[in-house]
Amino acid sequence: MLDTNIRPSTPRRLLFLYEILALILLFIYQKDNLDQYIIGIGIGLILLVHISNYLLLKISKGDNYIFLIATMLMSIGLIMIYRIDSQAGVRQLMWLALGIFFFYISYFLVRYLKGLNRLIYIYIGLAYFLFILTFLLGKRTYGAINWIRVFGVSFQPAEITKLILIFILASFYYQYENFKEMKYSSYILMAIAYSFIGLLFLQRDLGMAVIFYAIFLAIQFIYEEDRKLILLNIGLAVLGAIIAYQAFSHVRIRVATWIDPWQYIDDKGYQITQSLFAIAEGGFFGKGLGLGHPHFIPLAYNDFIFSAICEELGVFTGMGIIMLFLLLVYRGFKIALGQSNLFYRILALGISTLFGVQSFIILGGVLKVIPLTGITLPFVAYGGTSILSSFIALGILQAASEDFEWRMSDD
């Protein structure tokens, strides 16, 4: 479906070259006290990336760039995480392997399960169930209650709920003609989306609330026929933002440290200023892998991984990451434009918007372009559920990039 003139192995070889060079740098950096894991990490990463890419080429006739982009991003992320903390690097490699496993699972499920477009009520129920679960079992970290522990594993339900939201929207607009007969159905959909956003606010997960809102707004903007609803949506968001600013002190703090973090450098502005120091120190070409001071940045392999990358690998690498995300979003939208089945088209749009908004919020946050909210950079940052959820989303996008017309004739 998506034809290209370069052979698919060419970009994979370039990626291989990048990984080898970065791993050699890591090796040199460690040469005085070699870590026992370095060989394992190196071989593990290369095998994982190349086997999964090769397999995908055999299995899927769809887009063969989005997975490549994701593996490039995760390679940069893993190398940086490993450089900061080798134990975390080993765990991240395991998460990535599990993530890719989940990628294939979600890919096959979306591709072969029929009737996914008719389960809207189940999706809605599941979403509320996950929210209730969070409130019942939630743990408070950094002021937000968004983690629960299941079988000894920390787990952030909203990472799954955001995918469910996309399925709800896709099912709704897929059956738009039917729902239109129901009175105020679009209003009800909006009420449900806003209830999610409100619940996220109560959990103090501001970044996630913005992601939910952006996905909803994008899909509504493209498919809603009642255009005044879109204005209403934007108006409500502005009103909501003002109310949130007045009502919640933690929102006001975010805004204040965004406008002038230097004033609060000792406490509230500490994180963002440390991030800016790192980016400024890096310059265009970076200090070099292992030659910077990522340990000065709080949450360096999590929320602030981008700053740590800019310090050691340079702002040019940072720009590269930004452009990779833009490419990913672009491929996602291209997939949507080429997909003839409406349900899968909306899935592709929702997931592309998710990747775009999530990466923009955290990149803009650590650069102090927008207020900082703690969410992870997809594929790059360390994090269990975040990695899994990103790969699941990518699996759905991969499936959506294929031709579903044959299924229509089968039905």
CB of 362 to other proteins, least distance (A): 11
CB of 169 to other proteins, least distance (A): 14
Q: What tokens were used for 328?
A: 């990913």
For the chain, give the secondary structure using H, E and C: CCCCCCCCHHHHHHHHHHHHHHHHHHHHHHCCCCCCCHHHHHHHHHHHHHHHHHHHHHHCCCCCCHHHHHHHHHHHHHHHHHHHCHHHHHHHHHHHHHHHHHHHHHHHHHHHCCCHHHCHHHHHHHHHHHHHHHHHHCEEECCEEEEEEECCEEECHHHHHHHHHHHHHHHHHHCHHHHHHCCCHHHHHHHHHHHHHHHHHHCCCHHHHHHHHHHHHHHHHHHCCCCHHHHHHHHHHHHHHHHHHHHCHHHHHHHHHHHCHHHHCCCCCHHHHHHHHHHHHHCCCCCCCCCCCHHHCCCCCCCCHHHHHHHHHCHHHHHHHHHHHHHHHHHHHHHHHHCCCHHHHHHHHHHHHHHHHHHHHHHHHHCCCCCCCCCCCCCCCCCHHHHHHHHHHHHHHHHHCCCCHHHHHHC
**Interaction between residue 393 and other proteins (CB under 8 A):** no
Binding to other proteins by residue 367, rule CB under 8 A?
A: yes
Interacting positions 32-71 with other proteins (CB under 8 A): none
Angle 266-83-329 from CA coordinates, rounded to 5°? 85
State the Cα–Cα distance between residues 110 and 395, nearest whole angstrom.
8
Out of 97, 145, 222, 244, name the contact with other proteins by CB under 8 A.
222
Name which position in 218, 354, 392, 396 contacts other proteins (CB under 8 A).
218
Is 408 near other proteins (CB under 8 A)?
no
Nearest approach, Cβ of residue 282 and other proteins (Å): 8
**Binders of other proteins: how many residues, by CB under 8 A?**
40
User: Could you say which of 69, 272, 336, 393 contacts other proteins (CB under 8 A)?
Assistant: 336
Nearer to other proteins (CB atom), residue 146 or residue 359: 359
The CB-of-106 to other proteins minimum distance in angstroms stands at 23
Q: Which of 291, 298, 405, 408 binds other proteins (CB under 8 A)?
A: 291
Return the residue matching tokens 């879109």. Answer: 230
**Beta carbon nearer to other proteins, 144 or 321:** 321
210 contacts other proteins (rule: CB under 8 A): no
The stretch among 54-62, 90-98, 278-286, 389-397 that binds other proteins (CB under 8 A) is 278-286
Q: To the nearest whole angstrom, how small is the minimum distance from the Cβ of residue 410 to other proteins?
A: 25
User: Cβ 143 to other proteins, closest distance in Å?
Assistant: 23
341 binds other proteins (CB under 8 A): no
Q: Tell whether residue 337 is a contact of other proteins (CB under 8 A).
A: yes
Among 191, 242, 243, 280, binds other proteins (CB under 8 A): 280
For the beta carbon of residue 394, count every other beta carbon within 10 angstroms. Answer: 27
Residue placing its CB nearer to other proteins in the complex, 13 or 227? 227
338 binds other proteins (CB under 8 A): no
353 binds other proteins (CB under 8 A): yes
Return the residue of 273, 403, 404, 407 that touches other proteins, per CB under 8 A. 273
By the rule CB under 8 A, 363 interacts with other proteins? yes
- Crossing angle, helix 86-112 and helix 66-84, to 10 degrees? 160
- Rounded to the nearest whole angstrom, what is the least distance from the CB of residue 293 to other proteins in the complex? 6
Segment near other proteins (CB under 8 A); pick from 117-125, 196-204, 237-245, 320-328: 320-328
Write the CB contacts of 193 (distance below 8 Å, at least 6 apart in sequence): 165, 212, 213, 216
Q: Binding pattern to other proteins, positions 245-264, x when CB under 8 A?
A: -----------------x--
Residues lying near other proteins in the complex (CB under 8 A) are found at 218, 221-223, 262, 265, 273, 276-277, 279-281, 283-284, 287-288, 291-293, 296, 315, 318-319, 322-323, 325-326, 329-330, 333, 336-337, 349, 353, 356, 360, 363-364, 367, 369
